[in-house]
Amino acid sequence: MSLFNVFNVTGSAMSAESIRLNTTSSNLANANSVSSSAKETYKARHPIFAAALQNAGAQRQESVPVQVKGIVESQKPLRAEYNPQHPMANAEGYIYKPNVNVMEEMANMISASRSYQSNVQVADASKQMLMSTLKMGK
């Protein structure tokens, strides 16, 4: 694998982890929102990653970049809470809260942050190796 390919792979991984951090922060920001109907309630979102394998086989690449295939909404059930005094309560007295698990989202945020940091270190080490190689040519 060439050093230039490393920059392509780490760059795509950093971009993917950035999207993961953004969706996680959106989930955390909306964790305590309330709605009067299940249809209007915020649902947790998660990115779907995949390796860009469509050209890898034809070109015999050892590594392939990361692609973000999309962002999907969680299918976990929403939390319905009986609270007739709440201003957002529906006719039956229920309010709906998002299906966001704050502990899972915090763990996801730490994981994404560390993955991003690891990719930055790989890119930096590759840059240093490339610079050392260029200095050998002097």
pLDDT of residue 60: 62
The count of other CB atoms within 10 Å of the CB of residue 106 is 12
Which pTM value belongs to this model?
Answer: 0.83
The one-letter amino acid at 88: M
pLDDT of residue 133: 85
Which pair of tokens denotes residue 52?
């860009």
- Round to whole Å and give the CA distance between 48 and 72: 7
Predicted confidence pLDDT, tens digits, the chain (138 residues): 577 788 889 999 999 999 999 999 999 999 999 999 889 999 999 999 988 766 555 556 677 888 899 999 999 999 999 999 999 999 999 999 999 999 999 999 999 999 999 999 999 998 998 888 888 877
pLDDT of residue 64: 83
Quick one: which H or E segment has residue 96?
strand 94-97
- Round to whole Å and give the CA distance between 79 and 129: 52
pLDDT of residue 12: 92
